Amino acid sequence: MLHIIISLDYEIFGRGAGDVKRHMIMPTERILNICEKHNAPLTIMFEACEYLKFEEFDDELLAWLGYSPAELIRGQVRNALRNGHDVQLHIHPQWIDAGFKAGKWDLNVPGRAINDLPEEMIYETLKKGKEKIVSIAKDIAPHYKCNTVRFTGSRWIEAPPGTHAALEKSGIKAHSLADYCPDENRKGYWPLGSKGKVWEVPIYSVELPKYRMFALTRIVPALYRYSVDRSPDFRKKARAAAVSSGHGFLAGLFRDTYKQKWDFCKQSAAEMVEFLEAGLRRYDHRNNEVPLVMIGHSKDFLSDREFERFLRITAKRYLPSGDVKFSTFQGFVEENMD
Ligand SMILES: [Zn+2]
């Protein structure tokens, strides 16, 4: 069976820009409605470090914004759980020591990666985040389990070795960030470290010619992000991604490849279906339970129509065969890794 896990990174912008109502609550509401229409559960990747800061600075934020971001987030997450969706852990370590002054977030090290922290602190961060989600979820979803995390860093890689002990100690069974999967691994996920108690469940990605990077469905969210975030490395990153190593720019577009993630905010319905087809060919889903993780970001969700079309096509064309189903991280991990 192929399990489609639709995961949503639920956060404002990495450097503290953006607005919780506009970039989290409102788009997530639209995503949840679309999912519910097609009986597809969503897995919200709850950014716990950021959320804890919203709680810590609740009075200041309320005075500044006229609403409490923490309260809105809590309400939305609880509603989602009530309607059968899943909520798992997402960690952006740059928020750990953030401050809020005069309407602005002050992030000391915006590019901080998880393994920049000492092991004890990684564990503490996981523990605090997990306790927070569980406290929000427990009376709504009595069988709720927080068993999956998505760290972040500058690259899309499996959980670094320095985090494995902390993951295990905190009872997290799966990490999901890598944008690759060893081809010989027909199950679509692999054990981390030698003990095999924690697993990497990658974000499903496909190697494509570079010109596919420049589809309108990808450029519009990128420009939108830039219009809000004004990140100084935006141009640097865009140039580094576009320029080819061996060939000139134009030749490189057709000869070079890059990894494209299965992203419901940056792909057309046709591209999402194309990826699903490729997944069915690539993995041995007849003999294995294979997770196919989709990613999206609430702040990137601009095209309701494409996402809805994808879910409609999937429900009509693929679910009846019994080869494909919609799953959540909690469910998939509990059934296959516990
Ligand atoms: Zn994130």
Instruction: Please give the distance, rounded to the nearest whole angstrom, from the Cα atom of residue 317 to the centre of ligand 1.
Output: 31
Query: pLDDT value at position 139?
Result: 94
- The yes-or-no verdict on residue 242 having pLDDT over 70 is no
276 vs 219: which has the higher pLDDT: 276
Instruction: Please give the distance, rounded to the nearest whole angstrom, from the Cα atom of residue 23 to the centre of ligand 1.
Output: 13
Instruction: Please give the distance, rounded to the nearest whole angstrom, from the Cα atom of residue 81 to the centre of ligand 1.
Output: 20
Total-model pTM: 0.92
Using left for φ > 0, alpha for ψ between -120 and 50, and beta otherwise, residue 171 falls in: left
What is the number of other CB atoms lying within 10 angstroms of the CB of residue 147?
A: 21
- Average pLDDT over every residue of 192-213: 88
Instruction: Please give the distance, rounded to the nearest whole angstrom, from the Cα atom of residue 10 to the centre of ligand 1.
Output: 7
pLDDT band per the 50, 70, 90 thresholds, residue 264: very high
| Most confident region among 4-18, 70-84, 195-209 by mean pLDDT | 70-84
Residue-range domains of the chain with CATH = 2-337 (3.20.20.370)
pLDDT band per the 50, 70, 90 thresholds, residue 183: low
Instruction: Please give the distance, rounded to the nearest whole angstrom, from the Cα atom of residue 3 to the centre of ligand 1.
Output: 22
- The yes-or-no verdict on residue 160 having pLDDT over 70 is yes
Residues in the 5 Å CB sphere of ion ligand 1 = 9, 11
Query: pLDDT value at position 213?
Result: 78
Instruction: Please give the distance, rounded to the nearest whole angstrom, from the Cα atom of residue 92 to the centre of ligand 1.
Output: 6
Instruction: Please give the distance, rounded to the nearest whole angstrom, from the Cα atom of residue 153 to the centre of ligand 1.
Output: 9
236 vs 132: which has the higher pLDDT: 132
Instruction: Please give the distance, rounded to the nearest whole angstrom, from the Cα atom of residue 62 to the centre of ligand 1.
Output: 24
Instruction: Please give the distance, rounded to the nearest whole angstrom, from the Cα atom of residue 41 to the centre of ligand 1.
Output: 20
Instruction: Please give the distance, rounded to the nearest whole angstrom, from the Cα atom of residue 295 to the centre of ligand 1.
Output: 10
pLDDT band per the 50, 70, 90 thresholds, residue 17: confident
Mean pLDDT (the chain) is: 91
Instruction: Please give the distance, rounded to the nearest whole angstrom, from the Cα atom of residue 316 to the centre of ligand 1.
Output: 31
pLDDT band per the 50, 70, 90 thresholds, residue 26: very high
